[in-house]
Structure 1
Amino acid sequence: MSTYIYLECTAHEPAIQADEESGQHLYDLPRLRDEIAHRNEYANAMSIGASFDDRYTNNTARFLAAHPHCPIRIIDEYGGTHPIKDEDTK
């Protein structure tokens, strides 16, 4: 089943949700978590005009560049939240 996944910046009231999705399925969560873990690299890449072949990675990098130091959470189209870190590797 398709489940659109978005990033949300919780440093603002109300929180700012990304305009574009960062994934379309829950199996995209590991990739998205890895991108968040490397957010500085993605933000730096965007600042020099880089783009990524994967549109979801591109959307994520753009949002992370706009919110480089803000607390981020992962949400889905149904209002659910998902941990930023893989629960199996705590």
Structure 2
Amino acid sequence: MVRENYRQFFFDKENHGVHLPFHLERKFRKYLTCGIPIYGIARFSVHAVKEDKIVAFSCNGSTLCPSCTGGRTADTAKHLLEEVIPAAFETS
């Protein structure tokens, strides 16, 4: 749905005098390439099982991509649970 409509969205905003920042359109375009192998892959060899794994590049989107944002959310939660909260309860 985003792929089919984002250009029209920006066009409509511009026609109504709303000037969105250029970086926002760039983030939309980057989001549309997230996880699609044609836009880049990494190949990993797993020697223990004699297999290769191919992983599509992510967009590392800051706010638009639910997949990339979810990964950062999980990393932050892990850091808080393992590092920050235990340190707050340490006695001196």
TM-score by length of 2: 0.27
| Structure number, greater radius of gyration | 2
Task: Indicate the structure with greater helix content.
Answer: 2
Which structure would you say has the larger RCO, counting Cα contacts within 8 Å and 6 or more residues apart?
1
